[in-house]
Amino acid sequence: MALRVSNLRLSVDVGENALPDLISRTLGIPPGDLHDWRILRKSLDVRDKRDLRFVYNAEVRLPEDAQSRVLKRAAYAAAKIEAFDEPPFEMPTPGSVALTHRPVVIGSGPAGLVAGYFLAEMGYQPLVLERGSPVHERIRDVKTFDDGGAFHPESNYLFGEGGAGTFSDGKLTCRNTGPDVMRVLKLFADCKGQQPGKPSIMYFHRPHLGSNRLPAVVKAIRQRIESLGGEVRFKTRVEDLVFQEGRLKAVVTSGGEIPAELAVIATGHSARDMYEMLLRRGVPVVQKPFQIGVRVEHPQELVNRVQYGFRPYEETLGNADYSLVAHGGSADVFTFCMCAGGYVIPSVSQEGYFATNGMSLSKRDSPYANSGLVVTLPLSEFGSNDPLAGMRIQEQYERKAFELGRGSYACPVQRATDFMNWTASPSVPASSYPREKMAIDLAEVLPPYIWKALQSGLPRMDGMWRGKFMRDAVLVGPESRGSSPVRIPRDDETRETPGLTGIYPAGEGAGYAGGIVSAAVDGLRTAKAIVARYASLRK
C-alpha cells in the first residue's frame, strides 16, 4: 500500500526539484525520510494569470507505521492524502487453445501496432498487414500532397505506417488512467517518445510529441515487433475475409490470400471500404453518434495572452493551448485536438473528398493555433437505419467540400464573424493550410444541425474569452474525421464479435477509442484477450 498526495502546487517559476521538500512538508515528515516516490500527474493551472502554477499528484511509499501516522493527520494537510493501491501491469497467462496460424493484425495505427507489439512480446509471432507505406515513404507522399502535388490514395495523412497517429498532433492525452495506460506510455517513451529536457510523457497531463517525432516512435515499435518474431507487411490491403461456418479461415489481401483463424480489425475510421466489406461478410456494424464541425484558427499570440496574461510565459512553457465547451443552445459545442503552434492539414484518405484536421511539430512554433470545433451528431439526425448512414453523411459533406474546392483540395475558409452572418468572407483569410484556400460559407459543407449549433456556441465561447474568441478567428472545414460513425460490436470480456469466431474489432474504427493513447490501450487489451485464450506459438 502507498499514499497518493494530490493537489501539490508549485509556481511555474520553481523547478520540479522543489517537489520533494513540498511533499515532505505536506506529509509532516523529515525530508530525509522521503526515499520512494514518483510523480503520477503534472498539470498547469492558468486561472490566476499573475501566478501560474503546476499542480502535481505524487505516489509516496513510507514504512507502514509512518504511513499510518500520516494518514491519521491527513484531514489537516494542505493537500489531499489518501491510501493508494494501483495494481501492477500484468499480461495474462497464455491460454490453452492451440493456434494453427499466427494471429493477423489488420492496420498499423496505434491500436494495431500496440496489439502487434504485445502479441509479439508474448510469443505469438503476429503478422501485421498495412495497406499503406512504411513511414519514410509516407513522409515523402504527404509532403508532395502538401506542396500541391498529387494525392496518394494509399499513402497519406490517414493511411500508412502508424495510421492516423503518425501525422497527428501527437498529444498523448487520455481520459483514463491505470496500469494499461501507463504501460502504453512506457512503450512510447522507450521507443524514442521521451525527449531529454521535456516533461515526462509518463505523467505530464498534456504530453505532446509532434508530427516530426512520431515517425521515429512508430518505426521503433515496428522494429521491436520484428525483433520479437512478428512481421509487418506494408502495401498489403485487406480486401475480404473468408469464413466457414462462422469461423475465420483466411484474409484476402491485395497480395493474395493468407490463411488465418483470428484477425484484429484495427483499420481506423477512414477505411470506409473495410466497413462495406465487413457488412457484406455478415460482420455486425451498428450506427454510432460522431463529431463533425470545423477547425478554428487563431493567431497563437492571442491564445498566449488569453491563457498566460501579460507575462511572456510562452518563453518557458511553450505556446499555450486551450479547451472550451459551450453548453446549451441546440447542442453542446466543444473544442478538441487543439494544436498550439500548429498547422491545418488536408485530412484526406479518398480521392474526391475533402476534410480538415490539425497537427504540430514538437516545437509547436507556427504563428497559428488551431483546434477542432465540433458538435456530436446524434443518431436521430442520421435519417436512415442503414448502419453506414453516419458514414454517408460524412461522405456527402466531404464530397461537397471537394467540389466547391474545384476538385483541387482547396480548403474552404471563412472568418468566424462572416460565418455568424451567413456570408462568405470578402477575401480569403490567412490560414496555415498548406495548399490553396477558398472563401465560401462553411454552412454549405455542414449538416444544418451542426451549423446551427456552431452559430449558438460561438458567441458563448466569445464570452468566455471576453470578446476575443471570434474577432480574429478563421474557420476551415469540414472537420468530419474526429470520431467513428459506427461501432463493430464485441463481447466485453473475450473482445470477439458475437456470432463469429476469430474477429477482434479494435481501436477507433471499431468505435472503442478516440485518440492515440486510447486506441493503443484498446490494442493492448485486445492482445490480452487473445493471449488469455490461445496458446503461445513460442517453442
Ligand X SMILES: Cc1cc2nc3c(=O)[nH]c(=O)nc-3n(C[C@H](O)[C@H](O)[C@H](O)COP(=O)(O)OP(=O)(O)OC[C@H]3O[C@@H](n4cnc5c(N)ncnc54)[C@H](O)[C@@H]3O)c2cc1C
Q: Give the residue with the Cβ less far from ligand X, 412 or 507.
A: 507
Cα angle for residues 378, 474, 158 (degrees, 5° grid): 60
Q: Nearest approach, Cβ of 173 to ligand X (angstroms)? A: 6
Cα angle for residues 366, 369, 371 (degrees, 5° grid): 135
Q: How far apart are CA 396 and CA 345, in angstroms?
A: 20
Reduced to 3 states (helix: H, G, I; strand: E, B; else coil), residue 38 is strand
Q: Nearest approach, Cβ of 423 to ligand X (angstroms)? A: 29
- Block residue for cell numbers 479494435: 506
- Phi first, then psi, for residue 164 (nearest 5°) are -65, -20
Q: How many helices (H) and strands (E) does the chain have?
A: 13, 23
Q: Nearest approach, Cβ of 176 to ligand X (angstroms)? A: 12
Q: Nearest approach, Cβ of 237 to ligand X (angstroms)? A: 4
Q: Give the residue with the Cβ less far from ligand X, 274 or 375.
A: 274
- Cis, bond preceding 88 (omega within 30 deg of 0): no
- Block residue for cell numbers 504530453: 207
C-alpha cell at 247: 469461423
Q: How far apart are CA 358 and CA 356, in angstroms?
A: 7
Q: Give the residue with the Cβ less far from ligand X, 457 or 523.
A: 523
User: Which one, of 529, 489, 536, lies nearest residue 180 by Cα?
Assistant: 529
Helix/strand/coil (H/E/C) assignment for every residue in 46-78: CCCCCCCEEEEEEEEECCHHHHHHHHHHHHHCC
β-sheet bridge partners, residue 257: 252
Q: Which helix (H) or strand (E) holds 504?
A: strand 503-505
Cβ neighbours of residue 376 under 8 Å, at least 6 residues apart?
Answer: 289, 290, 291, 331, 332
Q: Nearest approach, Cβ of 360 to ligand X (angstroms)? A: 8
Rule CB under 6 A: which residues touch ligand X?
A: 106-112, 129-132, 157-160, 163-165, 167-171, 237-238, 266-268, 270-271, 274, 337, 345, 347, 357, 359, 481, 507-509, 513-517, 519
Q: Give the residue with the Cβ less far from ligand X, 60 or 241.
A: 241
Please tell me what DSSP assigns to residue 380: G
- Phi first, then psi, for residue 232 (nearest 5°) are -120, 120
Helix/strand/coil (H/E/C) assignment for every residue in 351-379: CCCCCEEEEECCCCCCCEEEEEEEEEECH
Q: How far apart are CA 443 and CA 421, in angstroms?
A: 11
Contact 499, 284 (CB under 8 A): yes
